Structure 1
């Protein structure tokens, strides 16, 4: 093996190690952030906000879209151990987070500029919000209805306390959950734009 080949092999090994270490670190951070959730006054009390998608977005920018999806997968896999929803909540969280980070990473990978990063993350936020509608309607809420013995009028009642004009679950999800999910992605996008540049040397290696 000549010197050039050895150098290429060594560089690939370093990149692979950095990739795995970065994904593991961001996954652990996302797992912790998933616990730091808080209620939003304009949403029912059981719908809470957290920043756990932010590390996945950073991973998608630093290492590519697959890394963002992996962070979401590992985060939710770890959270399954303490799941209060028989992993249904984690499944939905993974689907939405993977859509968000994966979309952002794919668009940013095409052209690595700040404008494309913002475009990708906002597109991911919008798509995540759209996917949240069928995800909640057909997966999450049917499970909660059975698991907690709550009929749909009871669930809708939590939303009616905020907006009396809603009468159907799909209306609640469209008016409340969909924009909330988009806003959650947008907030992660804003934070990512502020911190990604100073964090990039750490994520990618200080020599880059």
Structure 2
């Protein structure tokens, strides 16, 4: 079977087929936006990077893998579905590498970027949801302040965010600002464009 990169419509159809949760769908869109922005910065293939970001968690809701099995459930089950479709191996490796427990190391720039933006987009979303203006006007310092508050979004590992950023070779402040900017451009799709109606 020839390898390929799914179109965005095909990738979105998979997301909608396997994921009911609006929040998880929006997370994948946030990661996609960040991956596309970094691809532009690094002179890489934005479509390929965006699709990897969009699909990285499409199987999570059905196969959450609470036991962190290396070769079953999320993300291995999703990767098996994509492999059957003929999706390019570098995209599959990137998706596998975003989970520490798969044993697949993040060696490519694409996989390091996915790891660096995955947790951070979730944290920035959490920060936006407690702001009246959501993503509009968000500054790096406000995210940094929330990172120091251990009670805020406590499930998000600050150490992991810092380590993944360092692996990518970016400075944390610059990385936060860059991802905020990428998410602001997609704020409508993320449901984070200004205060909720009413």
The structure with more radius of gyration: 1
TM-score (structure 1 length as normaliser)? 0.34
- TM-score between both structures, scaled by the size of structure 2: 0.35
